Structure 1
Amino acid sequence: MKGGPLKALWNQLIDTHPAPPLWVIAVAGVVAFGIVAYPQTWHLSRGLITIAHEGGHALMAVLTRRKLRGIRLHSDTSGVTLTRGRPTGPGMVLTAAAGYIAPSLVGLGAAWLTDAGHVTLLLWLVLVLLTCMLLLIRNVFGVVSLLAVGGAVFCVSWLATPDIQGVVAYGAAWFLMLGGVRPILELQRKRRRGRAPDSDADQLARLTRVPGALWVFLFFVVSVVALGYGGYLLVM
């Protein structure tokens, strides 16, 4: 029947998975917390948060009709998103503000989809977003990073059992929400030492004349609220 394969794919995407036992969800959260809290594992995994951070800048630039010139991801887990447009105004402010809150908001969205049982849809949405970012990457390390992450997500979505997919989805949601908080704390620590004069918060301070510390506080509030609500969705 015409449209049969597409309909079958759509049904697979919107199919719901039963939630794993509560202890599995709790263990996934503890493991994610350990990865974020332990310096060695955080250094290895922080690049995933950077991908979400730069993706937030890029998405907001597109939504505010700024010209997106490209994204670079670096081996020291830093990144930069290049845009063109008015150097001031709401579009620039929103683009600069989107980075630090993006991982937490993406994690909250992942928690909402996972709580609803749409694990397969979540994995495929991640693949689509990574593919869009790949088209914008302007350095070799960034390309390799996105291909590695996208390949891992594809393998989970294509080869893993529904139970394994569910555990990965819960763990990813926890990691993004917990991992979204730590860079904000690190940012303020660097700012106190004068080591981040061109951070997003300081750029926003120059754009809006609102103190950079207040922007950092706003980032922190958004990330903590996202973690609290997302954690509630996952556990309850």
Structure 2
Amino acid sequence: MPLIDGLTTLWDKLFSAQPDPPPLLVLLTAVVALVVVSTRLTWRITRNAVTIAHEGGHALMALLTGRKLRGIRLHSDTSGLTLSAGRPSGPGMILTLLAGYIAPSLVGLAGAWLLGGNRITLLLWVAVALLLAMLVMIRNVFGVLSLLVTGGVVLAVSWYASPEVQAAFAWTSVWFLLLGGVRPVVELQRLRSRGRMPESDADQLARLTPFPALFWVTVFALVNLAVLVGGALLLAGPILTDAGLTL
């Protein structure tokens, strides 16, 4: 039957493993992502993707801890806001605040795990699905446009691009999330030291727990650096294999 055949084809497309990427591609995409994250102009343009993951982390944790999600706003200055209702203190609120700064890195780690199994198409389609799910909770025009553009780019690459372009896009995106998860923590502490972010996630956590804000900034940094190392090892699989090494 055509419908069954179509579903079978779709299933195979999603869950089939693509060939190992050339080691050079893994290295080049890492370099490209590092340049994007470390250069001011490109970082300002692409940082919104990190903000999407950051606010998505707040939103998901709010739902997982039983809080009622009110909405998400994304702003043109790459800041964001996630509103949820529930107890103003306690484990649910603490975990919701904690999730934001570590979410981009953890999303990158999940992506690295999928790429470690060469599930490139599955990675891209999961990304589109997550962006569509998040779109339902967006409460401002810029946020809607941001998600539509981001999701549209990922969908177009997954549907129309050649396998080589898909691989380059997927590896660059995952490297970007892993590396891009670290820089906002540095920026956070720099702004805090100047007194410009008194209501940051770290400062709110300090008011809810016995630990100072600097402790929470350090937690963010250590988690993201550890995830970066773990994700890099997963992504470096083709290089290690080519060198006759294994993880």
Q: Same fold by TM (over 0.5)?
A: yes
- The answer for unaligned runs of 5 or more in structure 2 is 238-247
The alignment's C-alpha RMSD in Å is: 0.9
Q: Distance in 1 between matches of 2:148 and 2:124?
A: 15
Task: Give secondary structure in 1 for the equivalent of 2:17.
Answer: coil
Instruction: Name the residue aligned to 1:58.
Output: 59
Q: Aligned partners of 2:25, 2:12: CA distance in 1, in Å?
A: 27
Q: Deviations over 1:17-56 (max 9, x none)?
A: 1122111110100010000001011111110100000000
Q: CA deviation at 1:115?
A: 1.2
SS in 1 for 2:20: coil
Residue matched to 1:94: 95
**Distance in 1, Cα, partners of 2:8 & 2:224:** 37
Q: Deviations over 1:181-214 (max 9, x none)?
A: 0000000111111111100000001011211101
How big is each residue's C-alpha offset from its partner over 1:83-110, in whole Å with a ceiling of 9 and x where there is no partner?
Answer: 0001011110000000000000000111
Query: Is residue 187 of structure 1 aligned with residue 185 of structure 2?
Result: no
Q: Deviations over 1:136-169 (max 9, x none)?
A: 0000000011000011001001001111111111
Check conservation: 1:177, 1:226, Cα contact below 8 A.
yes
Partners of 1:40 and 1:168 lie apart in 2 by 20
* Whole-angstrom distance in 1 between the partners of 2:199 and 2:11: 45
Alignment partners' CA distance in 2, 1:23 and 1:186: 31
Q: Which amino acid aligns with 1:210?
A: F
TM-score normalised over the length of structure 1: 0.98
Letter in 2 for 1:75: S
> What residue number does 2:241 align with?
none
Q: Please show how residues 139-154 of structure 1 align to structure 2 within 5 Å.
A: 139-154=140-155
Sequence identity percentage: 57
1:6 Cα deviation from its structure 2 partner: 2.0
Distance 2:163 2:16 in 1: 11
Instruction: Give how far 1:61 is off.
Output: 0.6
Q: 2 CA distance for matches of 1:231 and 1:18?
A: 19
Which residue is 1:169 aligned to?
170
SS at match of 1:3: helix
Matches of 1:210 and 1:9, distance apart in 2: 50
Identify the residue that residue 120 of structure 1 maps to in structure 2: 121
Give 4+ residue runs of structure 1 displaced > 6 Å after superposition.
Answer: none
Equivalent in the alignment of 1:205: 206
Distance 2:109 2:146 in 1: 23
Question: Following TM superposition, by how much is the alpha carbon of 1:5 offset from its aligned partner in structure 2, in angstroms?
Answer: 2.2
Q: Distance in 2 between matches of 1:93 and 1:174?
A: 28
How far the C-alpha of 1:8 sits from its partner, in A, is 2.1
C-alpha distance in 2, partners of 1:22/1:4? 35
Structure 1: runs of 5+ lacking an equivalent: none
